[in-house]
Amino acid sequence: MQVQTHVDINSEWGIVAARQAGRKLAREIGFGSVDQARITTAISELARNIYLYANKGQIHIEELTDSGRRGIKILAIDDGPGIKDVRRVMEDGFTTSGGLGAGLPGVKRLMDDFKIDSEVNSGTKITVIKWLR
Amino acid sequence: MRIPILKLHDYLLISVQVELDDQTALKFQEDVLNKIHEVGSRGVVIDLTSVEMIDSFIAKVLGDVVDMSNLMGAKVVLTGIQPAVAITLIDMGIVLDEVPTALDLEQGLDKLQSELEG
C-alpha cells in the first residue's frame, strides 16, 4: 500500500508540519539520515516559497514505486502569482525576498528529479523525487 | 517557543534543541543580541548537535547572528553541526563563509578562549 499525505501551507507552522511529515515518510520508506535531511530541507524550501510568495498552497508527499525502485515524491502547489522567469529563479544567488537565493537551485541539487510548471497569475507546481538507493 | 540562553562567565551558551520554525529563529536572533548587550558577553557558543535540518532561511539567520554579534564586539562559534546537515548545506550551495565552527561545545569554548586572548 502506498502512503500519501498532504499538508496545507498557510502559516509558518505549515512549513514545520510539512517538514515533519516528510521526514516521517522518508524514514518509513528507508532513507538514511543524510537523505532524510536532504528531503526535509527540500520540503522546507518548497513550503517556504509557497508561504512567502503565494500565502497559501499545499505540499503533497507520497511514496513511489517504479519497476522495483522505491522513492518519495513531493508536490508543491499554489495558485499564487506564478514565476515570471523560471530560468532566473533557478540561478544560484537570485532572490527577490532578501534570502540567500539558494532555495530552488538548492532543491534541484538535493533531489533526483525536479520539474517546475508555473504560469503568471495562475500558480506554480513543483514536483521533486528522491529515489532510494 | 524560546531557546534558553545560559551565561557562563564572559560567555553565552546556547543549545538549540527545538525544531526551528521561522519565528523561533528570528526571536532567537534578537534574544542573543539583547543578551550580549545586557550581560556584556565577549563570546557565544551556539550548539547545533540536536538540529536535524538547516534550510536556506535558518542558515541565513545563523550567519546573520554571527555578523550582528561581531558588530557588537562578541565572537560566535557554531558547534556540533551534524554530518547530514553539513552535507545538505553544501549540496544546497550554502557556504557559511567566515563562520567559526567547532566539533563540540568543549572545542567551541576553547576556540573562543584562544581567539579572545590571542
By DSSP bridging, strand B11-15 and strand B5-8 are antiparallel
Query: Contacts of residue B92 in chain A, CB cutoff 8 Å?
Result: 41, 102, 106, 109-110
Query: Contacts of residue A13 in chain B, CB cutoff 8 Å?
Result: 21
Complete domains list, chain A, with CATH: 4-131 (3.30.565.10)
Q: Give residue B74's pLDDT.
A: 97
Q: Give the pLDDT mean for A68-82.
A: 95
CB of B67 within 8 Å of a chain A CB? The answer is no
Average predicted confidence (pLDDT) for chain A: 92
Q: Give residue B112's pLDDT.
A: 94
A73 HSE (CA, 13 A, CB side):
15
CB of B29 within 8 Å of a chain A CB? The answer is no
3-state helix, strand, coil in chain B (%, to 5): 50, 20, 35
Predicted confidence band of residue A121 (pLDDT cuts 50, 70, 90): very high
Predicted confidence band of residue B113 (pLDDT cuts 50, 70, 90): very high
DSSP state string for A34-92: HHHHHHHHHHHHHHHHIIIIIS-EEEEEEEEEETTEEEEEEEEEE-SS--S-HHHHTST
Predicted confidence band of residue A86 (pLDDT cuts 50, 70, 90): confident
All cell numbers assigned to B60: 541565513
CB of A19 within 8 Å of a chain B CB? The answer is yes
Predicted confidence band of residue A81 (pLDDT cuts 50, 70, 90): very high
Per-residue DSSP letter, B11 = E
Q: Give residue A1's pLDDT.
A: 57
Is residue A128 within 8 Å of residue A74, measured between CB atoms?
yes
CB of B84 within 8 Å of a chain A CB? The answer is yes
All cell numbers assigned to A60: 503533497
What is the C-alpha separation between A97 and A87, in angstroms, rounded?
17
Complete domains list, chain B, with CATH: 5-117 (3.30.750.24)
Q: Give the pLDDT mean for A34-54.
A: 96
B35: Cβ contacts below 8 Å, ≥ 6 apart: B5, B7, B12, B41
Q: Give the pLDDT mean for B86-106.
A: 92
pTM for this model (two decimals): 0.92
B111 HSE (CA, 13 A, CB side):
18
The string of pLDDT tens digits covering residues B6-40 is 999 999 999 999 889 999 999 999 999 999 999 99
Query: Do B56 and A100 make contact, defined as CB atoms within 8 angstroms?
Result: yes
The string of pLDDT tens digits covering residues B70-88 is 999 999 999 999 999 999 9
Whether residue A25 has pLDDT greater than 70: yes
- Expressed in angstroms, the distance from the first to the final Cα of chain B is 37
